[in-house]
Amino acid sequence: MQNIDTIFVPDSQGSLFSGGPPLRYSGPMSSRDIRAVVFDLDGVLADSEGLHILAWEEIAGHYRIPGTRMPLHEWIGYPDTEICKDVVREHGLAIRPEDLLEHKRRIFRRLVTERLTPIPGSVEALREIDSIPLAVATSSSRTEAELMLRILDIIDRFRVIVTSNEVERSKPYPDSYLLAVQMLDVPPGHCVAIEDSISGVHSAREAGLTVLAVTNSVPAGRLGEADRIFPSTAEAVRWIKAHL
């Protein structure tokens, strides 16, 4: 796979991959330079993307929104705060976006408590790279992220956890990854990100990290901004271990 060395930032209206000047990116680091790894959470460590979809389907039924008018799979990797604003506006709901957000999050937390499992092999893979600091950068809220990490019993594996609560702009903007590497005290060029979504890959790449994409949630053909693409989180981690 060829590396892509030109990316585009979201424009002032937040339209992904359109507008704004191109940023130059020098390509992936050499293997000896890996000093830290930043993981996405939903779809990379936690098998939760399907639970988000179930929660939105329940919301659609409650507010009588036709399922065909909610592009559920297109929302993977995007923050619920922005999705709720769009849903309220586009469907003319008589509810504030923040109230819809809390409704959806209540449903999601219930589903997580009842059904959450790890992405196969992801928890075990963390042991393969315990010699370097690890972080999480997620669009989920602090409450949801910590709940999932505790259920999976991996919260203590991460030196840094950045959620949507800590940044003004979540993915696809670079803020989450920039804050994570700042808190790790490791330059972005010495960090690897593992992502499963288009917005997450864009976020990490714009922040200057080397990006490993996994096809847990989105087909490989839609993850072309990544430096490398793997069929699973475990395979991505094995590549990192081999290059430490």
For residue 46, the cross-strand partners are 42, 118
Q: Which of 5, 40, 153, 196 is catalytic?
A: 40
Task: Tell me whether the omega of the peptide bond preceding residue 172 falls within 30 degrees of 0, making it cis.
Answer: yes
Chain Cα centroid distance, residue 237: 16
Q: Which residues contact 179 (CB under 8 A, 6 or more apart)?
A: 137, 162, 166, 167
Q: What is the four-CA torsion angle of 77, 214, 181, 144, rounded to 10 degrees? A: 40
Beta carbons within 8 Å of 89's beta carbon, 6+ residues apart: none
Q: Could you confirm whether 80 is annotated as catalytic?
A: no
**What is the enclosing helix (H) or strand (E) of 184?**
helix 175-184
- Residues with catalytic roles: 40
